[in-house]
């Protein structure tokens, strides 16, 4: 029905091949990430980076069987632990000489208040800081392999977010719905500042962010109410495959070869909140993130 087609939204029509190319998708053991990996595995080599190796292997063997591509590899990556992120990057750099597409897809949503191994609030720590560090550690390899792309999965929820520098880790006040929104705004601002820096240096690496749509996925598992609402309204939600389309589009579409610093939804440019276009906040978030992670990223 046309209503269902409307819900499904835009589709990535690109048939671009990725022979000899290497893609990393974080959190690709379920949901949108898994469907993104499934599509890209029909085009080239995919590394599934996830916390749960058993789930990752199950997803990978299903994708290998379906695509006939044996180059679907699972590596352990826990974005809630900088030690794990550094170990993942170190192993990857030792084993792979190239990296063409990095899809920062993994995320947590609506977690009860908790902290990462490094003491960061969970949403900010996993959704923003974890991917910030991962991108930092892999950036040289992306530059060497250019043209290359960084794709950050954000959300429409960024409209409800703000960067609360006075209380980044929610110790003074915490609302799990807002914490998710804040982290998704951080994704948009990170993308903007990363794109600006990469362009300024004339690298052939682009960075774009996207909203996948409201997708029926495991993300809402921490909330009984949301899980219940998701079930009732499932007809109006995208399937993970439909939700993966914009990630795939940002990763492979030829027309985006030199497009950077943009935000997409339904495979087309979308509106970014005023807070998501604030360059001063983007720069400040960048330096605060570097401080928190103990890195120097110029």
What's the CA gap between 125 and 82, in Å, rounded?
9
Closest CA to 34 of 18, 13, 50: 50
Return the beta strands (E) in the chain as ranges: 18-26, 44-50, 72-76, 101-104, 148-153, 205-211, 263-265, 268-269
What's the CA gap between 224 and 192, in Å, rounded?
34
Tell me whether residue 180 is one of the annotated catalytic residues.
yes
Cα 77-23-246 angle, rounded to 5 deg: 100
Catalytic residue among 6, 113, 174, 180: 180
What's the CA gap between 97 and 158, in Å, rounded?
35
Q: What is the 3-state secondary structure (H, E, C) of 113-127?
A: CCECCCCCEHHHHHH
DSSP 261: S
Q: List, in order, residues 6 or more apart from 218 with CB less than 8 Å away.
A: 30, 31
DSSP 169: T
Residue 69 · residue 82 · CB < 8 Å: no
Give the catalytic positions in this structure. Answer: 180
């Amino acid at each position: 029905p046309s209503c269902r087609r409307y819900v499904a939204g835009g589709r990535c029509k690109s048939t671009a091949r990725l022979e000899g190319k290497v893609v990393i998708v974080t959190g690709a053991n379920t949901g949108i990430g898994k469907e993104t990996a499934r599509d890209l595995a029909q085009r080239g080599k995919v590394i599934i980076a996830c916390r749960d190796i058993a789930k990752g292997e199950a997803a990978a063997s299903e994708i290998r069987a379906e695509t006939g591509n044996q180059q679907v590899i699972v590596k352990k990556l826990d974005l809630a632990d900088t030690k794990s992120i550094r170990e993942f990057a170190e192993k990857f750099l030792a084993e792979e000489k190239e990296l063409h597409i990095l899809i920062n897809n993994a995320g947590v949503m609506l977690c009860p208040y908790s902290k990462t191994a490094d003491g960061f609030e969970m949403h900010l720590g996993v959704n923003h800081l974890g991917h910030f560090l991962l991108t930092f550690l892999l950036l040289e390899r992306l530059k060497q392999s250019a043209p290359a792309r960084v794709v950050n999965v954000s959300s429409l929820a960024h409209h409800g977010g703000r960067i609360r520098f006075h209380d980044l880790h929610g110790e003074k006040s915490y609302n799990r719905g807002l914490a998710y929104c804040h982290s998704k705004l951080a994704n948009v601002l990170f993308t903007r500042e990363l794109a600006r820096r990469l362009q300024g240096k004339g690298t052939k690496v682009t960075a774009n962010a996207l909203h996948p749509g409201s997708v029926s996925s495991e993300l809402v598992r921490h909330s009984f109410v949301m899980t219940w609402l998701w079930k009732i309204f499932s007809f109006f939600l995208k399937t993970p495959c439909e939700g993966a389309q914009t990630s795939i589009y940002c990763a492979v579409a030829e027309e985006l070869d030199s497009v950077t610093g943009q935000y997409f939804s339904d495979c087309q440019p979308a509106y970014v909140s005023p807070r998501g276009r604030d360059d001063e906040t983007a720069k400040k978030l960048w330096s605060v993130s570097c401080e928190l992670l103990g890195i120097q990223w110029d």
